[in-house]
Amino acid sequence: MTGTFNCASCSAPLDFTGAVTQKCDHCGSTVIAPHEMFYAVNPVPFDDRSSLKGRALKIAEVQRLIHAGNKIEAIKVFRESFGTGLKEAKDAVEAIERGESVDISGFRVQSSITPVKIHLDTREIGRAAKGVGKVVAVIGALLALGGVLVAAAVVYFTFSSRETAAVPTLSASPASTAPAAKAEQSSPFSELMRLGGEGNGEGRFKDNRHVAVDGKGRIYSSDYSPMQVQVFDADGTFINRWKPEQGQNLYDLAADRDGNLFVANDRGVFKFEGVTGKLLAKEDRIQPRGLALSSDGKLIVTEGKSFSIVDKDLKLVKKIENAAEAASSTFGFDKVAVDGDGIIYMLGRTEKDVFKFNADGKFLNRFPHSGNSANAIAVDPAGRIYVGNTSNINILDSSGQKLSDLKAYQAFGLTFNSEGEMFLASRPYVIKYRIDLEQ
């Protein structure tokens, strides 16, 4: 598939992958690809929808109806499928009709379960019972109705709270059929600190997606756009905030032992004094997607189908031009992490795989990470690989064997300090966790 279109959320250019929906490489939003791109390469692209499911299946039907000129029915299907109001459905369908992408990150497919109607005829109950029996029957019926209402209320509030939860959570998924409460009690993941929160004041975030920790334990995070780096000490106390002079959209952060912060944005790669924001070096000839620091101080920078290794002053050491070709990756790489031996792990832009290279840039292997919308990758001091998705974090060993699976909320950026404590950018928070997995 060829062609590009702009993300509906951040306006960044996206390569069309041929999928009905795809994730923005820059802001993480899930967007609908413009329908004319499908018809440019296939006269009947949605004729066979057997491989589609969930939101993609519903949107394919909407796309088909729009192309057939049945706009009213398309609006109806969109509204019924995603539970939106008439205006929201109309706006979305008209945007698709104009050839624009649409952000559907917050949409969920509506359940097709029909509510059960309960009807109690007290006259029939009366005729079926006599004397005390009648009273017992009536009371039993009322208790049954009460039980149904209570059960319905429990279900409603349970699912309602999941949809509107404002506080991030992270817990281990049970590895067996043991009760959830028991699994949480023995969870090896415990929260140590939480900082940030919704807002635009000091120490607050609206859309922070990356986090970095330097050698002194100082914590850095920033909203995606506009960038404004906020700095906290190791105890979570706010220190400073500053805005880089160049760049609007933040793609990644990395901090070194000396307190320097490396920033990847839409204008290149930059090195700053972490606390003050003083510019130390820049390389605007690189179009970065992800950053990671190796133990010897070199910076790995992904650039789509290639990646570069630069020194601490951002001077080029080596560029691996044919990395995507060597790894059989169609669109190349996004976020990146490096372990203590210099082994490089990168997320595919479209493939749900981790790509493994040695310290010299030679392709070694690729393996699936089991995530649907990977946003981040990090390696802990023990060499375990963490792949962050919006709603869960998968933990793998260096060969790709799955070790554990964590539930999360709005999980984007991941990093570790030298003690093996995990820091998660879980917008609008930064959360610190202790990980007690067996070695």
Domain co-membership, 148 together with 237 = no
Express each pLDDT in 28-86 by its tens digit. 778 787 766 665 556 566 666 666 777 788 888 888 888 777 889 889 988 888 888 89
| Per-residue tokens: 97 | 């009709």
Whether 80 and 177 map to the same domain: the answer is no
Domain carrying residue 144: 137-166
- Shared domain for 216 and 349, answered yes or no, is yes
Verify that 152 and 235 share a domain, yes or no. no
* Gap between the Cα atoms of 283 and 354, Å rounded: 27
Q: What CA–CA distance (Å, rounded) separates 356 from 342? A: 11
Q: Indicate if 146 and 221 belong to the same structural domain.
A: no
Position 57 in a domain:
yes
Q: Identify which of 57-66, 102-111, 160-169, 274-283 has the greatest average pLDDT.
A: 274-283
Q: In the chain, how many domains are there?
A: 3
Who has greater pLDDT, 269 or 391? Answer: 269
pLDDT tens track for 367-377: 999 777 789 99
Tens digits of residue pLDDT in 243-285: 998 998 999 999 999 999 999 999 999 999 999 999 999 999 9
Pairing of strands 260-265, 250-255: antiparallel
Quick one: 194 and 293 in the same domain? yes
pTM exceeding 0.85: no
Do residues 90 and 60 share a domain? yes
- Residue 394, burial from CB neighbour count under 10 angstroms (0-12, 13-18, 19+): buried
With a cut of 90, say whether residue 224 has pLDDT above it.
yes
Peptide bond into 428 cis (omega under 30): yes
Residues 6+ apart with CB under 8 A from 170: 189, 191, 393, 406, 407, 408, 409, 411, 424, 426, 431, 433
